[in-house]
Structure 1
Amino acid sequence: MYYKHAVFEVEVKYRVPGHDVIKEKLKALNAKFLEHTEETDIYFNSPIRDFAKTDEALRVRIYGDGTVVLTYKGPRIGGIGKTREELSVTVNDLESLLEILRRLDFKEVARVIKRRDIYNYENFTIYIDIVEGLGNFVEVETMVNDRELINKATEEVLQLGDKLGLRRDWIERKTYLELVLEKNSMNKP
């Protein structure tokens, strides 16, 4: 059973050598540059179930302008992309939110810090990311509100990636959280 206003984020992420060529292709497509932002994502694990095992995520995102959004991401659906049910709420008090999570025994597991340029093309959002400690990425995503549309949307995302010169062997199936946790575990003595 899904929340009646469920939205599914259909996304494909690419690990790229750089961004210049992709930005030129976006310009050639007349994609609209929306904004440059910096984001800090703080991920938490639940005291009652291990999100790493259930493939869920609870994230507090702090935007460069101070906006704070709490997001629950359900388990991934499908194979190629990172499609998930997503529920979000904007919060106006970061410190109180973090204190509530701590008092409920949610544990911070990682922070992901990124600089991001955001573009819009038709019904797609394209994120040009530089992720601290991980490198350069491009995410191409769209949103659907019907589970039946996920496969079609995934193919459309891949086709736009092809149009932007994003090679399919560059697809990164892991989330930024998984990549950060993997890197942190390799750096431990």
Structure 2
Amino acid sequence: RKKLDEIGAVKVKTEHQEDRYFNSPVKDFAQTDEALRIRETRSDENHNLFITYKGPKIDAKSKTREEVEMEIEDADKASKIFEFLGFNEVRTVIKDREYYKYENYEISLDNVHGLEPYMEIEISLEDNCDYTEAQNSIFELFEKLGIIDGFERTSYLELLEEMDE
């Protein structure tokens, strides 16, 4: 947090998030490196619900992947639809997240229940964009924050599942 203050990053919000993950009846998302979740977010100002599909990671350096997300009104009904279609709920991941804004980056400090704290840096890209330049700039920002190693490509869901083995 001190380093974020030093570079001029601004804290924009804090959220509590609960992510319910599902597995497909026709393929194992753990094997295909995909994810389907229902996310519930709560902050002092808002309560939101989203369905998100995450495709496989697209490189060996980062967690970059295609994401498709839409807001929904009722998480329990969405979950029921998934279940009727044969999807199984596999785990709920709970975290508290602080969002910071720095230039065109979104920096998240995550306190995931059952794991150590983590930091994520994201930048939004338009569809069909070459992401290499954006990815390099993210690694440069990590370096500016004094983080040069210890990068984790494994999802929170996978880390929690590994702890159960």
Q: When the two structures are superposed, what TM-score results if normalisation uses the length of structure 2?
A: 0.93
SS at match of 2:57: coil
- The answer to whether the aligner puts 1:28 opposite 2:28 as a matched pair is no
Residue in 2 that maps onto 1:183: 163
Over the matched positions of the two proteins, sequence identity in percent amounts to 40
Match of 1:41 among 14, 19, 28: 19
Between the aligned partners of 2:82 and 2:15, the Cα distance in structure 1 is: 25
- CA distance, structure 2, for counterparts of residue 182 and residue 46 of structure 1: 19
Once residues 56 and 75 of structure 1 are traced to their aligned partners in structure 2, the CA distance between those partners, rounded to angstroms, is: 5
Q: Are 1:149 and 2:127 counterparts?
A: no
Runs in 1 of length 4+ with deviation above 3 angstroms? none
Unaligned runs of 5+ in 2: none
Show the counterpart of 1:72.
53
Q: Where do residues 54-69 of structure 1 align in structure 2 (5 Å cutoff)?
A: 54-64=32-42, 65-69=46-50
Q: TM-score, normalised by structure 1?
A: 0.82
List runs of 5+ in structure 1 lacking aligned partners. Answer: 1-22
Structure having greater relative contact order (Cα 8 Å, sep ≥ 6): 1
1:171 aligns with 2:154: no
How far apart are residue 66 of structure 1 and its match? 2.9
